[in-house]
Amino acid sequence: MAKDVDKMISALSARKVPVATLDNKWHKLFTKVVKTDEVKEYEQKLNELLRKQGRINNEIKEIKRVKKELMDEIVTLMDDNEGQEKVDRNKQLINDCNDKIDSYNDDLMEMPKEIAEVNKQLMIHTMETCYDELKENEKGIDELAKWLAEIRVELKKNVVRKQEYEIANQEIYSYMHDIFGAEVVDLFDMKYNPSDNPIKKE
């Protein structure tokens, strides 16, 4: 299995792989395949990272909005000598905003790498799960194909047997008719009549 995993990693590295849990086709895949515990584990990890990334981006937007309000307020207070204390306080708050934005940006720089790694692991487990399902399905297909082949052979044999019975009955009825006559044959309430059961030539 280790060699198979290496091949999967190599194949995944050679192409741009979408973020699994954001891909509708990935979700559709698991309407046909049952998720393993490993798939569920990495799906959860990936979703947590994506949510964290979304929260950080929203925090940065909110901080930038607050920062802009503080800067606008400073501009309006520039000509007001009595507002210097508030200007100084706003400048300190702006510095705090910058520090938070820098910190969040540091986190964001690492996140694509983390997301890509977890996504790769999720894709590997997805491929393993799907290949296992394919192999199991192939096994079922082979078994059913063998069963159908046997049934076809048996069906052909039974068609021949049926024809043999029909021919035998036709000949027996004909001989009895010739020997005993129609009136006598009718007395035995013969259910078989060649005209009712014509032999079908296959």
List the alpha helices (DSSP H) in 30-83: 37-77
Name the pLDDT band for 199 (thresholds 50, 70, 90).
very low
Instruction: Check whether 145 has a pLDDT greater than 70.
Output: yes
Q: What is the pLDDT of residues 26-40, one digit of tens each?
A: 999 999 999 999 999
DSSP letter for 194, please. Answer: T
Q: What is the pLDDT of residue 27?
A: 94
Q: SS3 breakdown of the chain: % helix, strand, coil, rounded to 5?
A: 85, 0, 15
Which of 75 and 96 is assigned the larger pLDDT? 96
Contact 123, 17 (CB under 8 A): yes
Name the pLDDT band for 85 (thresholds 50, 70, 90).
confident
Q: What is the pLDDT of residue 59?
A: 95
Q: What is the pLDDT of residue 155?
A: 94
Instruction: Check whether 194 has a pLDDT greater than 70.
Output: no
The pTM of the full predicted model, rounded to 2 decimals, is 0.68
Q: What is the percent of the chain with per-residue pLDDT over 70, rounded to a whole number?
A: 84
DSSP letter for 202, please. Answer: -
